[in-house]
Amino acid sequence: MDSAYCDAIANAESLLLADSLAQAAPAAPVTAPGSAAPPPARAPEENGSWFPKPPDVPTQAGPSGIRFDFNDGCRVVAPVGPEVWRIRLFDLDAGNILFQTTPDFRGGGVMSAKKYFVRFRIEAWKDEKRVFAHDFDATNRDVLIVFPVGTLGDSVAWISYAVRFAEAHKCRLTIAMAERLIPLFAGAYPHIRFVDTKAVMPDEFYATYRVGLFFDDVARIYQPVDFRHVGLHKTAAHILGLDPAEAPPELAVEDKGRPIADKYVCIATQATSQCKHWNNPFGWREIINLLKNAGYRVVCIDQKPVTGAGIVWNHVPAGAEDMTGQLSLEDCVRWLRHAEFFVGLSSGLSWVAWAAGAKVVMVSGFTLPSTEFATPFRVINYHACVGCWEDPTLRFDHKDFLWCPRHAGTPRQFECTALITAEQVKQAIRRIPGFLEAPASAGR
C-alpha cells in the first residue's frame, strides 16, 4: 500500500497514518490530506545543521508483530493484513486521548504530531481484542538527547537539563553534541555517554528528543512553547518535560590554579552578529580605563581579534591585553574561574563564564533578561528599542551580520546597545562585591 496522509485530527493534533513511517518537518505546514509529496525526512535546526534521522522502523518489539518507540514522537506500526486494528495514543499526564485509528484500519503506522516529551500510553486492539498496552517508561532504557552542531552557548545552556532528564527517568542517556564541545562536559558526567552529533546512530534508542531553537514551529511540533517566550536555556526544560529552574552545568576542566598572580578581569567584546555587540563607540574604552585605574589587568579572551561585515568591523578594545585566539575552551574556563569578574555580551563566552562560576556583567539589548541566565549585573536600557530576539513576528537572520529588523539603515540601527552608556555598565560593576574603584584623581 502506498504511503498516504489521512485526516486524523483529535484534540487539535494531526497524525500520520501509513504503511511506513515518514518524518515531519518542524516548521512546515501539515501536508494536506491526499498529497503525494512526503515532508522532509529530518528536522532543520536554526543554524542550518540537521538532527540525525530517526530509524525507519521503530526499535521496540511488541506482541502480534507490533513495533513501537519514541524516537520521533510516539510511533507505532501494526502488521498490514486482514485483521482490523485499533491503535490509541493517550497523554498520561494531560488525561487526553490524542488519537485513535478509524474502524477499518488494517495495519500500518501511527505517529504522534508532537515530537517533544510527552508521557504517552499506547494501546492496541486486534479484532476488538486488546493485545498491547505500554506506558512510557525509560527506566534502564537507552535514550538519546540531541543538541545542534557547534553552538557553544546553547550547549552550555542545555546540558544541565539533559542531565536532569536522565536523573528523573533513570535512563541510560546518550547526549549527541558537537565533537569539539564533548571534552568540556564528558568527564563531569561519567554516567552519560557523549557522542558527536554527526556520527550518532539512533537505531538503538527507546526514545529520542531534539533540543534546538525552532523559529518557525507555529504548530508547536518540536517545542510545547515558543523558545522566545521562555528563554534560550529554559526551552530545553519545556522540550524535555522538566522543571525550568536554571542551574549551571558542571565542567570537566581540571583547576590548575590562577593563570596570573595579578588581579584581573576577563572581557569578551566580539559576537556572531552586530546586534549582539555593545555598539556604544566609547563604551569599552571607558570601562577598561575604570578597571585599569582600579588596579585590574583587563584580558580579552575572544576567539577572534576582529569580527564584522561590509564597512562595520569590531576590534579588541584599546588598553585590553589581547589573548584572542590563544586560549582553548579549557584554558578559557581556567581564566574565567579565577577572574574577579567577567564583562561580556549575549554570546557563548558569557554562558561559559556562568558555568565556570564567574560573576557576569552582561551588556545586551537585542535580548531581554529572560533569554539568558539570571545575573544581578545585567545591563539593558529600556529607553531604547529592545528585545527583537524575543519577538516571534521577527525571524532572526543568521546570515545577515548587520541584522536589525526594526531600524536597519536608519540612525536608530543597533540603538538597543548604542544607548547603553558606559556609566550604566560602571554602575553594574560597582555593585560587584569586593570591587574597589580608584579615587577620582587616579590616572590623571
In a domain, 136, yes or no: no
- Per-residue burial over 408-426, b if 16 or more Cβ lie within 10 Å, else e, is eeeeebbbbbbbbebeebb
434 falls in which pLDDT band (50, 70, 90)?
very high
In a domain, 405, yes or no: yes
**Bridge partners of residue 298, in order along the sequence:** 265
In a domain, 385, yes or no: yes
pTM (predicted TM-score): 0.87
Closest CA to 388 of 364, 410, 411: 364
Q: How far apart are CA 407 and CA 415, in angstroms?
A: 9
Question: What integer pLDDT is reported at residue 441 of this predicted model?
Answer: 53
Mean pLDDT along residues 337-363? 98
Q: What is the CATH number of the domain that holds 317?
A: 3.40.50.2000
DSSP at 50: B
Answer with the residue of higher pLDDT: 41 or 174: 174
Question: What integer pLDDT is reported at residue 148 of this predicted model?
Answer: 86
In a domain, 288, yes or no: yes
Number of Cβ within a 10 Å radius of residue 357:
14
In a domain, 366, yes or no: yes
What are 16-64's pLDDT values in tens digits? Answer: 333 333 333 333 222 222 222 223 333 444 433 468 889 999 999 999 9
Average pLDDT over the chain reads 88
Mean pLDDT along residues 268-279? 97
What are 79-99's pLDDT values in tens digits? Answer: 999 999 999 999 999 999 999
In a domain, 386, yes or no: yes
Q: What percent of the chain has a predicted confidence (pLDDT) above 90?
A: 82
Q: How far apart are CA 408 and CA 309, in angstroms?
A: 14
Please state which of the ranges 42-56, 179-193, 213-227, 321-335 shows the lowest mean pLDDT.
Answer: 42-56
In a domain, 9, yes or no: no
Above 70 in pLDDT, residue 6? no
Domain that holds residue 386: 264-430
What are 316-327's pLDDT values in tens digits? Answer: 999 999 999 999
Residues 6+ apart with CB under 8 A from 356: 251, 333, 336, 337
Question: What integer pLDDT is reported at residue 7 of this predicted model?
Answer: 28
Mean pLDDT along residues 112-122? 97
374 falls in which pLDDT band (50, 70, 90)?
very high
Question: In the chain, how many domains are there?
Answer: 1
Q: Which residues are catalytic?
A: 154
Question: Grid coordinates 564567574 are at which residue?
Answer: 358
DSSP at 187: G
In a domain, 331, yes or no: yes
Above 50 in pLDDT, residue 367? yes
What three-state secondary structure class fits 418?
Answer: helix
